[in-house]
Chain A
Amino acid sequence: MSFGDQTLELARVDLALERRLGESFRIIAPFALVALAMFPMALGLRITLVSEIGTAVFWALGILFGMQVALRRSSTDDRERRDLHALLGVDPAARFAGRVLAGSLLTTAFLVVLFVAMVLLYGPRLPLAAAPAIALSIVMVAVGLSELGTLAGEIAWGLRDRTALASLIVAPLAIPLLVAGSQTFEAIAAGAGILPWVLLMLTTDLALAVAGVAMARPLEEATR
């Protein structure tokens, strides 16, 4: 079976499990939406201020909760399943790619839901014509978060407190994504160019993809 076929099959199963369990959307998304709704209340419903901080709050919450979406599946992986995949000849890099693919789709969907809620609650100054640029930044951040979550999950695999440790690994490494995502929205609102920030997201995504694929095999062996 080719690398691509293995990747697609592993992503398909991860998405099937999410469809069945709904962990990301039944557990994580409601918390994120509640947090999003609490900020305007804490600010005393000062409309101008709420509108100004809307995108920053979106990215802060999007990164924090998106991280949990990305980490969720890695945390449920058990030794038997890893052994099964190894003995079926699954390339560890395909396992990484499959998990990133599924995680990217889930995280993108999560960020889209959060973004729509943010627009409704905060009324940010984002022109409709910028929708493609907004969509691009959401997808690129989702891919980066998913790569980070998968990589951190692999590094922490086998440890008792792996979920907590993986979160601590992801948080500082997600800063370039947070900065690039929020600055993209700032630039859109100000009518400025977004290219530098898109390049930062692209560089981060590519670096994580290369690291994930290159480290997949040594990490899998090291955590046995």
Chain B
Amino acid sequence: MALLCSLRQVGVSLGGKTILRDIDFDLHPRQVIGIAGPNGSGKTTLVRTLATLVRIDRGQGTVLGADLGTDQVYEVRSEVGLMGHRPAVIPELTITENLEHVCRLAALELSRARSALGVVGLEDAARTRAGAASHGMLRRLEVARLLLTRPRLLLLDEATHGLDSSAQELIDALIARTVAGGGAAVMVSHDAERLSTSCDAVMGLAVGRLVAGA
């Protein structure tokens, strides 16, 4: 089966500082890979590289068949789902409006936003402005977004940090659904123990270099 992601000797520099060095990474369909590492090790940059949102300076790579650094990435971006450090929401809009905005841009029926909110337990908070919602609510909102957009490649950057067990279960269910559909997931966390329970394999990232085993 074709690899969903493949990086070969990839290096990334941001603002003149080298963040990732000589990264070799493969992600197969139905695989869940965990990447552990301390703060500042380059985890977020690696996730954003896999999301095609960071330009690589050295090496080569493909994500969902698109060569990194080419316009091919525009064709596959809508199949990448990212839950980053900070929730991707418009704070001035309500939780429902945020999800409806996603529905419109993803050409989905608006009624699906309501049902997705029900799945993640946010019906009662539907009219709360995102800027006034708690971290846990915003994470649930992001799960709802990813349930709607059904990405093939799911990237979770410290997604479960600070969440209660029911919200963590939602994220586990999201991963399970992605994998069941032939997709794959990459989870990034400084909590190696959490990764070891959720992932098929865990790799470590230290000073921008990826090593097998956390």
| A and B co-occur in one complex | yes
Query: B51 to A83, Cβ gap below 8 A?
Result: yes
Q: Which residue of A lies closest to B80 (CB)?
A: A87
Give the contact-size bracket for chain B: 20 to 34
A interface SS class: helix
Query: A89 to B77, Cβ gap below 8 A?
Result: yes
Chain A residue total in the interface (Cβ 8 A): 23
Across the interface, A88 reaches (CB within 8 A) one of B78, B84, B87, namely: B78
Query: B101 to A87, Cβ gap below 8 A?
Result: no
Chain A residues whose C-beta falls within 8 Å of the C-beta of B81 in the assembled complex = 87
Min Cβ gap B45→A in Å is: 11
Given A81-B88, A87-B78, the answer on whether A224 and B101 have CB atoms closer than 8 Å is: no
Binds A, one of B23-31, B102-110, B189-197, B199-207: B102-110
Chain B residues whose C-beta falls within 8 Å of the C-beta of A86 in the assembled complex = 53, 77
- With A and B bound together, what is the CA distance between A208 and B54 in angstroms? 27
- With A and B bound together, what is the CA distance between A90 and B80 in angstroms? 13
- With A and B bound together, what is the CA distance between A17 and B53 in angstroms? 26
Given A17-B90, A17-B93, the answer on whether A87 and B82 have CB atoms closer than 8 Å is: yes
Across the interface, A87 reaches (CB within 8 A) one of B71, B77, B92, namely: B77
Chain A residues whose C-beta falls within 8 Å of the C-beta of B101 in the assembled complex = 9, 13
Query: B104 to A9, Cβ gap below 8 A?
Result: yes
Q: Which residue of A lies closest to B149 (CB)?
A: A88
Is the C-beta of A161 less than 8 angstroms from some C-beta in chain B? no
Interface residues of A, Cβ cutoff 8 Å to B: 1, 5-6, 9, 13, 16-17, 20-21, 80-81, 83-91, 217, 221, 224
Q: Can you sample 12 A-B contacts with CB below 8 Å?
A: A9-B104, A13-B90, A16-B97, A17-B92, A17-B93, A83-B48, A83-B82, A83-B88, A87-B51, A87-B53, A87-B78, A89-B77
